[in-house]
Amino acid sequence: MKLRNLLLAATLLAVPIAAKAQPVVGPYVNLGIGFDYLMKMSAHGDDPAFNGSELDGTPGVVGVVSAGWGFGYGFRAEVELNERWQRPDFTSFPANNGNANMNTYGVMANGFYDFSVGLPWMYPYVGAGVGYELTSIGNASATNGTAPGTTATLQDTTRGSFAAQGILGASFPIQGVPGLSVTAEYRFMGAFHNMYVGADETIGGVGAGHTEFKLGPQYHQAALVGIRYAFGVRPAVVVAPAPRAAPAPAAARTYLVFFDWDKSDLTARARQIVAEAAQASTSVATTQIQVTGNADTSGTPAYNQALSMRRAQAVGAELVKDGVAQNIIMIQAFGDTRPLVPTGPGVREPQNRRVEIVLK
């Protein structure tokens, strides 16, 4: 299954390509519906007359409903309920005149990463999930093509299986409706256990006893569109300045947020300063907020670079919580290369453990 392997690799190797606040922070719900394609399945009978059969690849319908939570920094998780409907045919030698109703439904736990690519109207994402899927087979029969009058009527059966899926998608925020987005997704789902289905066999119209069919693992490809709503998203506040003759350019406002040594979490005082910056951004015509992370020289350059980025991301996420529109926030990190107080290497200087918030 080359497609499945490529999708799994893409999911496992995906890394952040931009460090901006994600569009989903906090609780959200999602509804989706679309086209589902059941890939060809093997179907082997205990009676050799029915060996070599297959269930055709079959188009169908899929629906999903989910509820989740955005954690910030691009990560979110959700619980999903799904259902798929197909009516596949039995084909290939020797069983060539049969069909079945198939209904697959279950629950998945999914994890996602949302990319911020600098486009406020689109946020691509990747995801993967694991769960448990039930498959119901009903109204199923098969007729042997080389032995006229030999038929097998399958019993209505429901069986469960471990399942996993990979997801590639994008969300498109609806302008003017905070928290509402349209989504488009491709999904590859596999239910990996064999399914055993009992059948009553007849030869020439006379009962010939009980046999059993083994249906191989099932794989689905699906394309869905949906609606996602994130709760608690506040619209950006834009205050028009009073008209003035020949207005002078507004001066940039700078706020400094300091951190404890080797820490990236916000203190109570730091949260107060971020709140002041967020409030100030709504009282002037702010078009961009630069959030710049820094570190002292007590660590290695690589470690300090990562630490300063975590500090900047924490401030960016707090600004969003305080009502700032995420698309005007630009996050940067400079490690220990821009000290407020010049020092030598290995010095724990509190003034250098900071994030600068600049309103423009």
CATH of domain 8-230: 2.40.160.20
Of 241-245, 248-252, 269-273, where does the model show the most confidence? 269-273
The CA-based dihedral angle spanning residues 188, 192, 198, 204, taken in that order and rounded to the nearest 10 degrees: 60
Question: In the predicted model, what is the mean pLDDT of residues 279-304?
Answer: 86
Distance from C-alpha of 95 to C-alpha of 108, rounded to nearest angstrom: 34
Q: What is the pLDDT of residue 5?
A: 57
On whether the CB atoms of residues 22 and 72 are closer than 8 A, the answer is: yes
The mean of the pLDDT values for the chain is: 82
- Least confident range of 15-19, 70-74, 106-110, 330-334: 15-19
On whether the CB atoms of residues 21 and 115 are closer than 8 A, the answer is: no
Q: Would you say how long the chain is, in residues?
A: 360
Question: In the predicted model, what is the mean pLDDT of residues 272-276?
Answer: 90
Q: What is the pLDDT of residue 89?
A: 77
User: What is the residue whose two structure tokens read 């399958």?
Assistant: 154
Q: Which residues have C-beta within 8 Å of that of residue 129, sequence separation ≥ 6?
A: 80, 108, 109, 110, 111, 164, 165, 167
Question: In the predicted model, what is the mean pLDDT of residues 94-112?
Answer: 82
Q: What is the pLDDT of residue 11?
A: 44
Going by pLDDT thresholds of 50, 70 and 90, the confidence category of residue 21 is: very low
173-230 tens-digit pLDDT: 998 888 899 999 999 999 998 888 776 666 666 666 676 778 889 999 999 999 999 9
Q: Which residue has the higher pLDDT, 41 or 335?
A: 335
The CA-based dihedral angle spanning residues 133, 80, 138, 97, taken in that order and rounded to the nearest 10 degrees: -80
3-state secondary structure the chain: CHHHHHHHHHHHHCCCCCCCCCCCEEEEEEEEEEEEEECCEEEEECCHHHCCEEECCEEEEEEEEEEEEEEECCEEEEEEEEEEEECCEEECCCECCEEEEEEEEEEEEEEEEECCCCCCCCEEEEEEEEEEEEEEEEEEEEEECCCCCEEEEECCEEEEEEEEEEEEEEEEECCCCCCEEEEEEEEEEEECCCEEEEEEEEECCEEEEEEEEEECCEEEEEEEEEEEEECCCCCCCCCCCCCCCCCCCCCCEEEEEECCCCCCCCCHHHHHHHHHHHHHHHHCCCCCEEEEECCCCCCCHHHHHHHHHHHHHHHHHHHHHCCCCHHHEEEEECCCCCCCCCCCCCCCCHHHCEEEEEEC
Q: What is the pLDDT of residue 101?
A: 83
Question: In the predicted model, what is the mean pLDDT of residues 50-61?
Answer: 76
108-138 tens-digit pLDDT: 999 999 998 888 889 999 999 999 999 988 7
Distance from C-alpha of 104 to C-alpha of 229, rounded to nearest angstrom: 26
Q: What is the pLDDT of residue 183?
A: 96
Q: What is the pLDDT of residue 17?
A: 38
Q: Which residue has the higher pLDDT, 169 or 41?
A: 169
pLDDT at position 287 over 60 = yes
In the chain, domain spans: 8-230, 253-359
Going by pLDDT thresholds of 50, 70 and 90, the confidence category of residue 20 is: very low
Of 76-85, 148-157, 189-198, where does the model show the most confidence? 76-85
Q: Which residue has the higher pLDDT, 251 or 114?
A: 114
Q: Which residue has the higher pLDDT, 42 or 337?
A: 337
Q: What is the pLDDT of residue 224?
A: 97
Q: What is the pLDDT of residue 4?
A: 52
Greatest distance between any 2 Cα atoms in the chain? 99
Cis peptide before 301 (omega within 30 of 0): no
Q: What is the pLDDT of residue 146?
A: 55
Q: What is the pLDDT of residue 93?
A: 44
Q: What is the pLDDT of residue 14?
A: 40
Q: Which residue has the higher pLDDT, 17 or 249?
A: 249
Distance from C-alpha of 202 to C-alpha of 231, rounded to nearest angstrom: 59
Distance from C-alpha of 172 to C-alpha of 71, rounded to nearest angstrom: 19
What is the CATH topology of the domain spanning 253-359?
A: 60s Ribosomal Protein L30; Chain: A; (3.30.1330)
Q: Which residue has the higher pLDDT, 247 or 10?
A: 247
Q: What is the pLDDT of residue 360?
A: 81
